[in-house]
């Protein structure tokens, strides 16, 4: 096992290093840098550009140094918890992310819980009642959920809310609570505002998960061991829970590797449309303005969550499914 852990962790570290370098280089690929865009913006507004200020900013953020030196200085800070300074906001990256990170975490965690809670019983029902009216109905709703882009659903709901209820459903808390300390009322407001984005963003994920769980469970239910167990008189509920359902749970667990990064970076377009104060729009802004330290830190964190998520899902799968082993049979 020590050998396995050492190899996996080394692979994870090397992967993250390569990803961090790639991210840094890709952000630098477009011509110019943040300051070039800043100068162009000032000039387009007819404002004078102070060369001394530009030179100062270049030196301050190390933009006058070669790319590899900028990268080394950034990655050296990252391992110590210093993610650098956002050029656009002129604040440390951790401060820029601050509250939006918490909102993002709450929203995306709620979405994941919503997906699991809704998809699990519906998927099981659809598989155990294949081709029934209920299955057809839920499949129809599932396909609509899969086929409808989230941002379109968000626009429709916002329109309906405005037209029929005269209310805006944008944002995650009431405007009066913005930039205020956390109170019970603010938490209530957050919970109230969470419902719509969770449903909007969670719909396609739920529909996808239902289809996968249904397909996997149906595969298992048609296997010979199920027929044998049924023939031997095992009660239907016990038979379902003890064997096929356990096997069909694999996609739920395997999805952790994909879901963890989404906790931070998911649903950017919906967040922009619904004016959600999450990390998505901040990443988008950072990428378009070439704020490399902010964008790089976000993307590195997403990569970290991906590799850690994969590792966790591999270990959980080994525990959950006796057929999958870290130590197994050579093929």
Partner 1 sequence: MITNHGYSLVNLRADYFRAFVGFNFCFAPYVLGAKAAGGVLILLGCAALFALYGLRTLCRQFARIELDEQKITMKIFKYRAIPWEKLTDLSLSYFTTWRSGGNGWMQLRLKGAGHTFRFESNLSDFEQVVLNSVRAAMQNKLELSSATLRNIDALNIRIPESGQPA
- Quick one: DSSP state of residue 117? H
- Residue 83 CB, nearest approach to partner 1 (Å): 10
Query: Does residue 224 bind partner 1 (CB under 8 A)?
Result: no
Owner of token pair 């006796």: 322
Distance CA 209, CA 224 (A): 25
Distance CA 158, CA 168 (A): 7
**Contacts of partner 1 in 79-98 (CB under 8 A):** 79-81
Token pair recorded at residue 255: 């999805």
Contact mark string toward partner 1, 301..330, x via CB under 8 A: ------------------------xxxxxx
Query: Does residue 10 bind partner 1 (CB under 8 A)?
Result: yes
CA 101 vs CA 70, 82, 307: distances in Å: 25, 16, 20
Distance CA 276, CA 69 (A): 36
Query: Does residue 78 bind partner 1 (CB under 8 A)?
Result: yes
Q: How many residues of this chain interact with partner 1, rule: CB under 8 A?
A: 25
**Residue 96 or 300: which CB sits closer to partner 1?**
300
**Residue 270 or 300: which CB sits closer to partner 1?**
300
Stretch that binds partner 1, among 39-47, 71-79, 136-144, 268-276 (CB under 8 A): 71-79
Cβ pair 208, 146 in contact under 8 A: yes
**Residue 11 or 132: which CB sits closer to partner 1?**
11
Query: Does residue 5 bind partner 1 (CB under 8 A)?
Result: yes
**Residue 169 or 254: which CB sits closer to partner 1?**
254
Write the CB contacts of 295 (distance below 8 Å, at least 6 apart in sequence): 23, 27, 283, 286, 287
- Residue 79 CB, nearest approach to partner 1 (Å): 4
Stretch that binds partner 1, among 3-11, 143-151, 187-195, 287-295 (CB under 8 A): 3-11
Query: Does residue 76 bind partner 1 (CB under 8 A)?
Result: yes
160: three-class secondary structure by DSSP: helix
**Residue 3 or 45: which CB sits closer to partner 1?**
3
CA 93 vs CA 41, 80, 82, 86, 260: distances in Å: 23, 13, 8, 5, 21
Token pair recorded at residue 122: 């519906």
Binding partner 1 (rule: CB under 8 A), the pick from 6, 49, 55, 69 is 6
- Residue 327 CB, nearest approach to partner 1 (Å): 4
Distance CA 121, CA 119 (A): 6
Q: Can you give the binding site for partner 1, defined by CB under 8 A?
A: 2-11, 13-14, 17, 76, 78-81, 325-331
């Amino acid at each position: 096992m020590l050998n396995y852990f050492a190899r996996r962790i080394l692979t994870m570290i090397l992967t993250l290093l390569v990803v961090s370098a790639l991210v840094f280089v890709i952000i630098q690929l477009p011509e110019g840098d943040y300051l070039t865009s800043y100068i162009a913006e000032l000039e387009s507004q007819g404002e004078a550009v102070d060369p001394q200020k530009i030179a100062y900013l270049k030196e301050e953020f190390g933009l006058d140094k070669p790319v590899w030196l900028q990268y080394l200085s950034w990655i050296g800070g990252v391992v110590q918890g210093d993610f650098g300074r956002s050029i656009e906001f002129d604040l440390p990256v951790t401060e820029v992310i601050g509250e939006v990170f918490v909102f993002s975490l709450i929203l995306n965690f709620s979405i994941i819980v919503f997906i699991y809670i809704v998809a699990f019983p519906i998927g099981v029902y659809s598989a155990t009642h294949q081709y029934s009216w209920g299955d057809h109905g839920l499949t129809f709703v599932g396909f609509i959920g899969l086929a409808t882009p989230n941002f379109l659903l968000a626009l429709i709901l916002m329109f309906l809310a405005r037209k029929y209820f005269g209310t805006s459903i944008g944002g995650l808390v009431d405007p009066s609570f913005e930039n205020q300390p956390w109170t019970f009322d603010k938490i209530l407001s957050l919970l109230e505002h969470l419902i719509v984005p969770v449903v909007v963003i969670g719909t396609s994920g739920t529909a996808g998960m239902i289809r996968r769980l249904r397909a996997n469970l149906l595969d298992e239910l048609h296997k010979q061991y199920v027929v044998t167990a049924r023939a031997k008189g095992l009660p239907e509920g016990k038979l379902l829970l003890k064997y096929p359902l356990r096997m069909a749970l694999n996609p739920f667990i395997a999805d952790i590797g994909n879901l963890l990064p989404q906790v931070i970076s998911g649903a950017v377009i919906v967040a922009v449309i619904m004016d959600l104060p999450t990390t998505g729009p901040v990443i988008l802004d950072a990428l378009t303005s070439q704020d490399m330290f902010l964008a790089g830190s976000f993307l590195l964190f997403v990569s970290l969550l991906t590799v850690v998520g994969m590792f966790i899902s591999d270990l959980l799968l080994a525990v959950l499914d006796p057929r999958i082993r870290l130590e197994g049979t050579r093929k």
